[in-house]
């Protein structure tokens, strides 16, 4: 089963870019890399996903290493509202269950 490794926490300043790393060295060639975030007292929120090439949407960018063993979620200009726990997730949980596997994620702290 694919597993991911993320730093427990990161801190950044408001209006600066934030790079959130994720290691997924065991990911298979057809697994998409997904990112979700969870704001305080809310349910998780889909952020972005990708397979091989870099991806952009209105929330963030996803840079995927050429060997696909790691990826970086990029918030181009962090705001206080981006303070959340960010989860890098392989597509399916262990045992073939059709759901998401959440680790502890990275707690992103934004300083004003």
Please choose, out of 18-26, 60-68, 71-79, 92-100, the segment that lies near other proteins by the rule CB under 8 A: 92-100
Q: Closer CB to other proteins, residue 95 or residue 112?
A: 95
Cα distance between residue 71 and residue 104, in whole Å: 17
* Kind plus residue range of the DSSP H or E element containing 50: strand 45-50
Is 81 within 8 Å of 30 (Cβ atoms)? no
49 binds other proteins (CB under 8 A): yes
Q: Closer CB to other proteins, residue 61 or residue 101?
A: 101
Is 90 within 8 Å of 103 (Cβ atoms)? no
- Residues of this chain that bind other proteins (CB under 8 A): 32, 34, 36, 42-46, 49, 87, 91, 93-95, 97-105
């Amino acid at each position: 089963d694919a597993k991911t490794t993320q730093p427990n926490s990161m801190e950044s300043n408001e209006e600066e870019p934030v790079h959130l790393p994720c290691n997924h060295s065991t990911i298979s060639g057809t697994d998409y890399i997904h990112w979700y975030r969870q704001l305080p007292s809310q349910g998780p929120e889909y952020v972005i996903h990708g397979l091989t090439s870099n991806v952009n949407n209105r929330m963030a960018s996803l840079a995927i290493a050429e060997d696909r063993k790691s990826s970086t979620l990029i918030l181009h200009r962090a705001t206080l509202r981006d303070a959340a726990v960010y989860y890098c997730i392989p597509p399916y949980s262990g045992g073939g269950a059709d759901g998401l596997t959440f680790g502890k994620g990275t707690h992103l702290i934004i300083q004003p």
